[in-house]
Structure 1
Amino acid sequence: MCTVCCESKVVCLTTDIPKVDNPEVELEIDRQGEELLIRNIVLDEPENPLYLEYYADATFVEGISQEAKIVIYFVDRNGEVLRTLNVQLSREVLRLLRREVGLGG
């Protein structure tokens, strides 16, 4: 279970964390009605990738646009950070995200 936090971060409550440091991450964007669903596919194990999904709004997209990355925290039930993953975003991806939430390119 993942959720947006602090305008530019994502927190995932799970013990299923990437098995390697700095894995390749693919990004998918889906629109579900008025909401924007972002899916990060963490390719830490090619035969068993880790899927992270969360809903984003214009505030979140504006926040990640400033840093050109998404910071994802994997936390346990006690709130302890088990791993942090930085997902770098290309200009093309940022333009697409901004357009999808109505911020323009």
Structure 2
Amino acid sequence: MNANSYITTDELIYTINHSQEIDRGDEMGPFAVKRGKYVYVYRTWQDARDEEERKPMCMMMIPVDIEDLAELYEREDLDADDLESKGFWPLLELIGRYAHTPIEFRKETEVAQ
């Protein structure tokens, strides 16, 4: 993988939140938020906003130190086959790029919003 295809944590979150390829078409989600050592991906931005009130289930938790997409497939709380069948391929491909980015290149950067 060359340096041009590396993706920082900020870029991962920004792309999940703004990419038309990843959007389900209803302009609601998915939506990503970094909290501690994880990037939480919710089905909608409303779920992320209501986190404190009703503790919604997130679609997945991506460790910021993930080294292989297989780590997500092994988690019991993530059904990657279900995501694939629902058309979330662009999201899984993006996370795969992030997982293969060396950790030292994932440092937070300023992303235009």
- The TM-score, its normalising length taken from structure 1, stands at 0.31
Higher RCO (Cα < 8 Å, 6 or more apart): 2
More helix by share: 2
More strand by share: 1
